[in-house]
Structure 1
Amino acid sequence: MTREENLDMIHHREIIVGSSLPALIHAFNKNIPVFYSDYDRPFELDFLDPNLDLKFLGIDNISKTLKGMESEITVGIKKTILWERLLFLLSLEGKAPLSGLCNAIRYNGNTLVFTDEYSKIGEITFDKCYYYGDNNCRNLVRTQKEPTKYLCRDWIAFNCGGKHQYDYIETNDDFINKILFYISTRRRGNYNIKDACSISLLTEDQINDFDYSETMARFKTVHEMKSRGMRSRVANRDSNGKPLSYRSFKTSYMNREIKPMDATYISSDSKIIVVDEYIKEDQISKQNKFVETVGRLF
């Protein structure tokens, strides 16, 4: 690269690579641009602390109660709502310049290059980079330790037996450690029929083992429900209206998400900082220019 080309290139003192919720909070607090090749949204069924005040962001953190088999928990709004608001505010201030157009990021030791499906769309230099993780980013970090545990989410559709009052089940097993029920988005209308997301903690060998496959996840999810007294739709009743028999649960597999849990990374040079202590939601700064934007919009 010639000196003239380098002078024309955009330079940032600090940048963030990644689009997770902690990355966006960091960018929001410090007014730092954020670069990413894909949206790293929070898990759809993760909720905020109900006591968290987000009115300065124009968000009402309305609490609700989730009902389990033996207990109840009170939660706030979904974390995705906060994630979307932060990304929206960063975009308004020009702090998310890639705007979902980038498919890959590459570091060549001097510049950070952004490309879409066909060609380069941008290139920057920087003094310091905070790396929060990006699936399509090369050469910023190296793997120090391969993952040994994986978070596995199996999304299961209930075609019969999805109408009940429960929101979650907790077990003592790594395979189907927790079952989260949510109102199905597959149907239009107010049917109150629930699908499920079953969460497991698996090793790499278990992921490749049929005994821990998507099929077995469906079977074990139904088993955990039945063992706790949950039943599907009533099939027959006696003359007094009491149930005599129930239909079988009918489920179908939708999707499996696998995320490494304990991999560690090291930076490729001194300008890159691998962030391993994430900023919490209650550490969002109320004293910055973005809050003024909220006051004008919401």
Structure 2
Amino acid sequence: MRGNRLRGIIVAMDMRQSPVVVNTPLGENSFFLEMRCALSPAPVPGQFVELAIDPCLFLRRPFSVSSYRRGTLGILYRVVGRGTHLLSQKKKGDILGVLGPLGRGFPSFPAASRVWLVAGGTGIAPLLFLLSRRKAASGDTTLFYGALTDRALFRKVLPAGNYRKVFSTDDGSCGEKCRITSLVRRHLEQERPDVLCASGPFEMMKEVACLADACGLPCYVSLENRMGCGMGLCFGCVAKVKTDTGWDYERVCTEGPVFPAERVVWEDEDSAR
């Protein structure tokens, strides 16, 4: 079975040597890094890249594409380990190896559709790219964005535009003092979007998926499972999903990271990882 799954997934990709343009600190041990990188094909919102950060690291590190315009690739990241610590030290002109774009992103939504984006903390990363694409198409878009504190809301990197923004923080330092899903639920009592897209903590996405299901709305989630190879070879990033015959494990790096929410088995965090 595993051998059958491996057929056809090995794709010839060049590791692009990409110079850093800027590595901007955002506070809360987070950064927005931009590099010159002409990706082909061009990425779509929801896809990711893998970075070869330093020769001392055996594995590349996966990062959501947060922006891509005119050959400049942007990623939002938080320092959580050795790899991202080394990345935070990169300066203008330093070279990073870039592999991508990888994975399946969000589907294309008509400009006239009403799209609600729900983000938690650094889960905003893949939604930034989707938000900028929606803005460029003059789409009807609402961003629901929550975090622990105002400092953890990365409003500096939000695309400019007149789309609606709804904020919440756990401590009440920005927006309402509540979970962002509480605001989504409240707004659903008054109005309905055509589709919801969510990225962030597992429990947040699970709750958004439940709200969408209760309202009969399509919903897409971007899973953040740990990855090894990023190309479907190691099966280290599988998520538990529903199938016609019950359930199975699918690779987040190739079948995802974006999945229809109704396909994800939301029993608990471990079941989807």
- TM-score bracket for the superposition, by shorter chain length: under 0.3
TM (norm. structure 1) is: 0.20
Q: Higher relative CO (CA 8 A, sep ≥ 6), structure 1 or 2?
A: 1
